[in-house]
Structure 1
Amino acid sequence: MRKLLVLLFTALVILAGCSPEENVQEVEQEAIDNTEKTSTSKSSETTINLNGIPIRIEAEKVNNDADVELAVVLDSGEIQRFRVVAESGQLTELTEKQTAKTVPQPKGNLQVPPLLLEENEFVYIDQNGDVVFWSEEQELERLAINALPDSNLLVGDKNQVLVLTQPSTRYDHGILGDQIEATGFAIIDGDKKEVVQETSVPQKDVIESLKPIWVDWDQNGTKEIILTLSNDQEGARLVLYDEAGKQLAEGEPLGQSHRWRHALTVEAFHSTDKLELAEITTPHIGGNLQFIEWDQENKRLKVVASGSEYSTHSIGSKNLDMHTSVDSNSDGQIELWVPSQRKDELIGIQRTAEGFETIKQFALQGNLSSNIVSVSSEKQSMLVAGTDSATVTVWTFVE
C-alpha cells in the first residue's frame, strides 16, 4: 500500500480534504454498463464521474495482482478511491473504512509529499531546504543540504535518495511555476542518513526540472542521472551524469533561451539491448517527440527518431507525469503514451525501424488534468487518466 499511503500526504500537501462515502452504487453501475458495451473487444473503456477535477492518480495491485486500487486526488483536496476488477474492468468506489489508515503528518508547509522509504519511515524536504528523515511523529535526522523545496525525491538502489539542491534565480524562465531552479543534486544514504555525493552543474546553467531521471541506461548495473540544463545563451539541453557527478554525455541545445525540453523516461522502446530516452522538446509550442540514444563512444545524446505534435506539460504546472510507458498490445515492445497537443486525446506510440507510429488513439472526456498511470501484468494492462470535466477513464487491455 506504499503508493496509496503516500497519496494521502499528496492531498494534504496540495490542499486539505477527505474521502467521500456517497454515490457508491451509482459509480459502480456506470462502470459495469460501460464495460459491457466493449466486452467483445480486447480493450475496454470505462469513464467515471468524480466529485471534482482530478489532479493526481495512483494505482496499486491488490489481491495477489487480481485487482487494482486507484486513489484519485481532486482539486478540492478530496480523495476518491476505486477498486478495478482486472478481469472484467468493473469499478467499485471504496468507502472511508476501506482506505489506507492516516499516518501522522510532518509539520510545516511542504511543497512535495514525503517519500516513503520503509514502513513508517519517511523523508521530506523542509521549507528551509533541509532533508528530514521522520517516523511516528519523531524526527530521526535532519540534513542541511539546501535542497530545492519543490524537488521530487527519488529512491534508488540500496535505499539511496536523489534530490535536487542549490536553488538559484539566475534563469528567469519560470516554466515550472516559479523562477527558482536547482543548480546541483545530492545523493543520500537512506540507511546511514548521510550525504554520499554532492554535485553542482556549470555556473551558467540551472536544472530546469523538478524530477531527474535516475536509471541504469546502459544496463551495466550502475545508474545514471539525466538532467535538463538551461541557460540564457543556448536554452535547454539534456546532460547525462554518473552518480559520482561526472558528465558522461550531452545533447544538442535548443539554441534559444526560454524554450524548454521535457525528458520523460528511458525504456526498451525499440530494442531490449539498447534503451532509449523519450523527450518532448517545447511541449507548449509544437511539442516535438524525440527518441534519443546514448552514444557512449562520442559522449553524445543522439536523436534517432522525432515527430510532432504532442504536449506533456502545461505552463506553470509542477505535474511532470503526463506520460507513461506500457506494452498494451502484448507484443513484447514498450509503447509511450502521451497526450495530444491540445491534451484532449491519449496517444499510444510505438517505435519502428523508420521512426515511430501511432498504434492507438483515445478521445478524452475533456482536457487531461492529471498524470497518466499504467499498470501491467502477464496478460493484461491498464491505463488511467483524469480530465478537467471531472472524469477519470480506465482503459483495460487483455491479451
Structure 2
Amino acid sequence: MKKMFFIAAFIVLLGSFAFGKDYLKTGNRYLPGLFDFSEAENIEFRFEKDILDIRLFKKSNRLNLQILAGDGCIYEGSIDKNKEISLSKREECGDNHKNFISSQRAVYEGNSLFVDYDGYLKFSGDKLDSTAIPALPDAQIVTYSRFAVVPVFPTKIYRHGALGDSIEAKGFLIFDMKKGEITKTVRLAGSNVIEQRMLILTDINKNSLPEIIATVSNPKNGASVVVYNIDGGEIYRSKPIGRGFRWRHVFAAASFDGENTEIINVVTPHIGGKLQFLGVRNNSLIQTAAFAPVSSHRIGSKKLGMGLVVDFDGDALAEVIVPDTRHKKLLVIKKSWEKTEKIHEIGLNSNLCTNITGYADNSGVKALAFATCNGTVYIYKAGMHKP
C-alpha cells in the first residue's frame, strides 16, 4: 500500500507542474519553436549519484530540473540566474522509473485511463471500469486531445530484446477519453509485433485528427514504419529493413520543408545507424533523405528519448539532434530537400546516459538538457546572451 501511495502521489504531483508544449503526452519528440545554441547559456555541473534520466519543467514560474537517480530517488531544484542549482531529494523513493519521463496514466476532463498493478487497463470516469485487456508491461499511454493509444496484448513470439526484454505488443487499442470507451482494438496478424513502448500520435494528414505511428517488426523482414488512422486502419507503410531482428527507432514527426510532415527514425541505431526521413508518396512511406552514421538508442535500454526535433537555425523549419554512434557527441542535422548536413556539434565528456529533454512554451523553446554517464549534467538556457 505504501508503494502504491507514493506512485499515485508522484503522478498527482507531476500533474501540477507546467510542462509547456509536452511531447511526452503524444510521444512525438518535436518541440516547435526556435532554439539557438549561439544565443544560449551553457550550465554544467556534476551530480554525485548515478543519473538514470532527467527532465525540465516550469514550476512557480521558474525553470526546474528533475533527476531520477540510481538510488530510485528523484532530486529536484530550480535553475536561477546565477547558474546555481540546488537539488533536494523528494520524499518518495523507490520504483519511480515507469512514470518519470512518460506515464502509464492519461487524464482528460477528469477521466483517467491507467495500467493497474496487475497489468490491465482500467478507466476511471463516472465509475471504475476494467477493460480486461493486458497492456505491455512497460507500456506508455500517449494522448492527443480526447484520444489515447496503448500497446496491448504482450507476447514473446519475437525475441529480439532490443528494448530490454523479449516481451512485445501484439497490437494496440484506441480509447476515447471523453466517452470512456474503447473505439478500436487492433491485433496484428501472424508473427508481427509492435516493437515500441509507446506509439506516436500526430496529425500527418492535416485533417485535425491524429494518426498513429508504429514500429512493426517480424522475424522474416525486421522492422517497418506503419501509420494508422484514428479508426485503426493502416494507411501508410515503409519498406521493411529486410532482415529479421533489425530494429528502427521511430521518435518524431515534423515539417522540414514548411509544408509536408515527415517521420524521423534511425534505422539500426546499434550498428552504424542511419537517420532516415520518411515522407508520404503514393500512399507509401518513402525515404526522402538520410544521414549516417548516427545512433539514438543503446541496445537493451528502455530509454527512447535520445533524439529530439527542434528549429535550431531560425528558419522556421525543424532540425534533428541525435548522438553519434559512440554517444560521445550530439549532432544537429539539417535537411534541405534531398540533402542533409551537420550544422552543429556538442562534444561530451562521457557517453550520453539520458534522454535529451527540453521545455517550450508559446514563446519558444526555453531550455534543453541531458546528462552523461559520469554524472555531468548539461543545461542550455535560451536567449541568455541577447541584449
TM-score normalized by the length of structure 2: 0.82
Q: Give the Cα–Cα distance (whole angstroms) in 2 for the partners of residues 6 and 69 of structure 1.
A: 21
Matching residue within 94, 107, 122 for 1:132: 122
For the 8 Å contact 1:69–1:81, the answer to whether it is kept is yes
Partner of 1:242: 229
Q: CA deviation at 1:141?
A: 2.9
- Over 3 Å counting, the alpha-carbon distance change for 1:190 and 1:263 in structure 2 is same
Partner of 2:31: none
Alignment of 1:177-256 (within 5 A): 177-256=164-243
Q: Give the Cα–Cα distance (whole angstroms) in 2 for the partners of residues 258 and 122 of structure 1.
A: 36
Q: CA deviation at 1:330?
A: 2.9
The one-letter code sitting in structure 2 at the alignment partner of 1:275 is T
Partner of 1:49: 46
- Over 3 Å counting, the alpha-carbon distance change for 1:59 and 1:176 in structure 2 is same
1:115 and 2:105 equivalent? yes
Q: Give the Cα–Cα distance (whole angstroms) in 1 for the partners of residues 8 and 118 of structure 2.
A: 22
Q: CA deviation at 1:263?
A: 0.6
Alignment of 1:207-356 (within 5 A): 207-268=194-255, 270-295=256-281, 298-356=282-340
Structure with more relative contact order (C-alpha pairs < 8 Å, separation 6 or more):
2
Residue 356 of structure 1 aligns to a residue in which SS?
strand
Q: CA deviation at 1:116?
A: 4.7
Matching residue within 331, 353, 361 for 1:369: 353
Partner of 1:35: none
Q: Give the Cα–Cα distance (whole angstroms) in 2 for the partners of residues 165 and 362 of structure 1.
A: 38
Task: Structure 2: give runs of 5+ residues left out of the alignment.
Answer: 1-6, 13-36
The one-letter code sitting in structure 1 at the alignment partner of 2:78 is R
Q: Give the Cα–Cα distance (whole angstroms) in 1 for the partners of residues 324 and 165 of structure 2.
A: 25
Q: CA deviation at 1:316?
A: 1.1
Q: Give the Cα–Cα distance (whole angstroms) in 1 for the partners of residues 280 and 60 of structure 2.
A: 40
The one-letter code sitting in structure 2 at the alignment partner of 1:145 is I
Partner of 1:143: 131
1:391 and 2:384 equivalent? no
TM-score normalized by the length of structure 1: 0.79
Q: CA deviation at 1:62?
A: 4.0
Residue 159 of structure 2 aligns to a residue in which SS?
coil
- Over 3 Å counting, the alpha-carbon distance change for 1:370 and 1:307 in structure 2 is same
The one-letter code sitting in structure 1 at the alignment partner of 2:311 is D
The one-letter code sitting in structure 2 at the alignment partner of 1:83 is S
For the 8 Å contact 2:288–2:338, the answer to whether it is kept is no
1:155 and 2:143 equivalent? yes
Once the two structures are overlaid, the 10-residue window that deviates more, 227-236 or 283-292, is 227-236
Q: Give the Cα–Cα distance (whole angstroms) in 2 for the partners of residues 6 and 219 of structure 1.
A: 36
For the 8 Å contact 1:110–1:125, the answer to whether it is kept is no
Q: Give the Cα–Cα distance (whole angstroms) in 1 for the partners of residues 99 and 67 of structure 2.
A: 20
Q: CA deviation at 1:121?
A: 6.6
- Over 3 Å counting, the alpha-carbon distance change for 1:6 and 1:58 in structure 2 is farther
Identity between Structure 1 and Structure 2 (%):
29
The one-letter code sitting in structure 1 at the alignment partner of 2:262 is E
Task: Structure 1: give runs of 5+ residues left out of the alignment.
Answer: 11-39
For the 8 Å contact 1:266–1:278, the answer to whether it is kept is yes
- Over 3 Å counting, the alpha-carbon distance change for 1:376 and 1:6 in structure 2 is farther
- Over 3 Å counting, the alpha-carbon distance change for 1:63 and 1:328 in structure 2 is farther
Residue 92 of structure 1 aligns to a residue in which SS?
coil
Q: CA deviation at 1:89?
A: 7.1
Aligned Cα root-mean-square deviation (Å):
3.2
The one-letter code sitting in structure 2 at the alignment partner of 1:261 is R
Q: Give the Cα–Cα distance (whole angstroms) in 2 for the partners of residues 116 and 240 of structure 1.
A: 22
Give a deviation string over 1:306-341, Cα, whole Å, max 9, x none. 121111111111111111122233332222111111
Q: CA deviation at 1:81?
A: 1.4
The one-letter code sitting in structure 2 at the alignment partner of 1:72 is I
Q: Give the Cα–Cα distance (whole angstroms) in 2 for the partners of residues 355 and 63 of structure 1.
A: 43
1:73 and 2:57 equivalent? no
The one-letter code sitting in structure 2 at the alignment partner of 1:344 is K
Partner of 1:61: 58
For the 8 Å contact 1:322–1:339, the answer to whether it is kept is yes
Q: CA deviation at 1:347?
A: 1.4
- Over 3 Å counting, the alpha-carbon distance change for 1:195 and 1:41 in structure 2 is closer
Partner of 1:28: none
For the 8 Å contact 1:215–1:225, the answer to whether it is kept is yes
